[in-house]
Amino acid sequence: MQDKDHHIIGTNYKDMKSLEKLKHEIATSTTGGISFMDIFELYPKVDGKQKRVVMFKIPSAVTTIPTGWKNRYYGRDGESLTSLSQEEVDRIRGQKNGTGQSRL
């Protein structure tokens, strides 16, 4: 895979108050109430202009526990996100954790 150059262009996506509401919405829509651990706003200077960057700190995925959004489960297929079948969700749940024991 070829490396891609990334350039900071900035965003005007939601103010901090709206981002906190988004954090709550995500917690109520994901299985297990998962949401951002923190939200950061940065203002780096790029080409002499200050740009707004919003970063989300998210928790690591837990092995054997699939995360769903509004009771649907998704997985990566290359660069795309696709729905997982019930068989795939069950396979994830049946994986062994680091101790060699299946988690229930």
pLDDT tens digits along 41-80? 999 999 999 999 999 998 887 777 788 888 888 888 888 8
Could you tell me if 44 and 6 are in contact, meaning their C-beta atoms sit under 8 angstroms apart?
A: no
Residues 80 and 50 in one domain: no
Does 55 map to a domain?
yes
- Checking if the pLDDT of 96 tops 80, the result is no
Residues 51 and 90 in one domain: no
pLDDT of residue 53: 94
Residues 67 and 86 in one domain: yes
Sheet with strand 72-77: strands edge to edge:
68-69, 72-77, 80-83
pTM over 0.85: no
Q: Which residue range(s) make up the domain with 77?
A: 60-96
The CA–CA distances, whole Å, from 85 to 17, 55, 92 equal 36, 31, 11
Does residue 41 sit in helix, strand or coil? Answer: strand
Does 80 map to a domain?
yes
Residues 52 and 65 in one domain: no
pLDDT of residue 101: 44
Does 71 map to a domain?
yes
- Checking if the pLDDT of 35 tops 70, the result is yes
Domains contained in the chain, number: 2
